[in-house]
Amino acid sequence: MISEILNMNGYGLYVWSSFVFTLLSFGTLYFVTKIQLNKELRNFQTKFKNLDIEKAEIAKKQEIYRGILSSTSTSKI
């Protein structure tokens, strides 16, 4: 049964390489995107931590910043 699935009537190399290429492309795209997202999140957290109280208050008042902050682990809200 397993060897049949692997062999695919002699087309195994073509079928499996297509599926492996697709899944590898998915994995690469997902991890590259995840790394970029985490980098920007870290940047945001660092910059927000370094804001003085007055500027942090201004940022907190803006809805978009509240949205980002509520999704980060070091939320000040």
Told to check if 60 binds other proteins by CB under 8 A, we report: no
Using alpha carbons, select from 36, 43, 39, 46 the residue that is nearest to residue 76. Answer: 46
Told to check if 49 binds other proteins by CB under 8 A, we report: no
Q: Which two tokens stand for residue 31?
A: 């991890």
Told to check if 33 binds other proteins by CB under 8 A, we report: yes
Distant-in-sequence, close-in-space partners of 74: CB < 8 Å, separation ≥ 6: 45, 48, 49
Q: Residue type at 64?
A: I
Residues near other proteins (CB under 8 A): 5, 8-12, 14-15, 17-19, 21-22, 25-26, 29-30, 33-34, 36-37, 40-41, 43-44, 47-48, 51, 55, 58-59, 63-65, 67-68, 70-71
